[in-house]
Amino acid sequence: LKEVLDLDCIFCKIAKKEIPAEIVYEDDKIIAFKDVNPASPTHILFIPKEHIESVNFLNEEHKHLIGEIFLRIKEVAKEMNIDEDGYRIVNNCGELGGQTVNHLHFHLLAGRQMQWPPG
């Protein structure tokens, strides 16, 4: 696994427990933790432990991983009892997409009325 980790990546460091985070889910391939600057009452980030920069870097080998991330989001949402009220899943890709951390992540946002279109 070492070779797929980016040594300067903050989310790789969270995945390796080198910097702390409030972890809400973890398995061998995926980790989910609370966003340090929450944009809603519930704001959790789901990441692959493997360093993938963004959606632009996904390939066929990642199909199962991405499917698993979405299933884990669904399960965490149910455990947190936000599933029935509803929630938003966000991925920001690249500069115009608003991506600020270059390690693929999906935001789970809940606990307030979301607006559309987003800003």
CA–CA separation, 88 and 26 (whole Å): 20
Q: In what order do the strands lie in the sheet with 87-90?
A: 23-26, 30-34, 42-48, 106-110, 87-90
- Give the binding-site size for ligand 5GP (rule: CB under 6 A): 13
Binding mask 78-117 for ligand 5GP (x = CB under 6 A): --------------x-----xxxx----------------
CA–CA distances in Å: residue 65 to residues 61, 91, 116: 8, 15, 28
Question: Does residue number 37 form part of the binding site for ligand 5GP (CB under 6 A)?
Answer: yes
Confirm whether 105 is a catalytic residue. Answer: yes
CA–CA separation, 65 and 58 (whole Å): 10
Question: Does residue number 17 form part of the binding site for ligand 5GP (CB under 6 A)?
Answer: no
- Per CB under 6 A, the list member of 33, 40, 69, 73 interacting with ligand 5GP is 33
Question: Does residue number 59 form part of the binding site for ligand 5GP (CB under 6 A)?
Answer: no
Q: Quick one: which of 38, 47, 43 has its CA closest to 88?
A: 43
Q: Rounded to the nearest whole angstrom, what is the least distance from the CB of residue 103 to ligand 5GP in the complex? A: 8
Residue 44, beta-bridge partner list = 34, 108
Residue ranges in contact with ligand 5GP by CB under 6 A: 10, 21, 33-37, 45, 92, 98-101
Could you give the residue numbers annotated as active site?
A: 105
